[in-house]
Amino acid sequence: MTLSTSEKYLLGKGHVIFFRDKLFFLKKRYEAIHQECLNRGFSVVNIWPEGVSVYHHLWNDYQVTEEDISVNMARIKERMPIKARFSPCFDRKINE
């Protein structure tokens, strides 16, 4: 199995390999997103594959940096439709 040699967060090519050994981080994010969907009234099912828990060497965490957030915000602004629809849970658009 190929693991990333990059210590820097990636979008696009390489992002799957970057997160391949960060299952603890991914599990926490998955649970947070799942809960947020439930809070917003979406009908979602938890489908985290419990069998991956046997791969102890892949259960690393990751600390998100301000640079990571900036990279994501730039990507969202780049790809957000001009007439974006947004959740009634918030008063403002994401690109403000």
What is the per-residue pLDDT across 31-89, written as a single tens digit (0 to 9) for each? 999 999 999 899 999 898 888 889 899 999 999 999 999 998 998 888 887 776 665 55
- The distance of Cα 71 from the centroid of its chain, to the nearest Å, equals 13
For the entire predicted model, the pTM comes to 0.74
DSSP 43-63: -------GGGGG-GGGB----
Q: Name the superfamily (CATH) of residues 15-79.
A: T4 endonuclease V (1.10.440.10)
> Is the dihedral angle over the CA atoms 33, 37, 40, 45 positive or is it negative?
negative
